[in-house]
Amino acid sequence: MNMIRLMLVDDHSIVRNGIRLLLEQVEDFQLTDEASDGEEALEKLKKAAAESTRPDFVLMDI
């Protein structure tokens, strides 16, 4: 199975930390980046696309 690349976006660092710890235990997930809000996430996604390191999915809260 291919590695699933994931970006995590949440304004609460404790939530990001908890989800990161859970994802680190799963072999098939690679956390590519984190952001604290949508604006920061968009900037990081633009940079990742330019570097061909974009995530497959973005996990974010509302």
**For residue 38, what are the domain limits?**
4-60
Which contacts (CB < 8 Å, 24+ apart) does range 35-39 have? 35/7, 35/8, 35/9, 36/9, 36/10, 36/11, 37/9, 37/11, 38/9
> Is residue 37 pLDDT above 90, yes or no?
yes
Domain count, the chain: 1
pLDDT of residue 38: 94
Q: What is the CATH number of the domain that holds 12?
A: 3.40.50.2300
pTM for this structure? 0.85
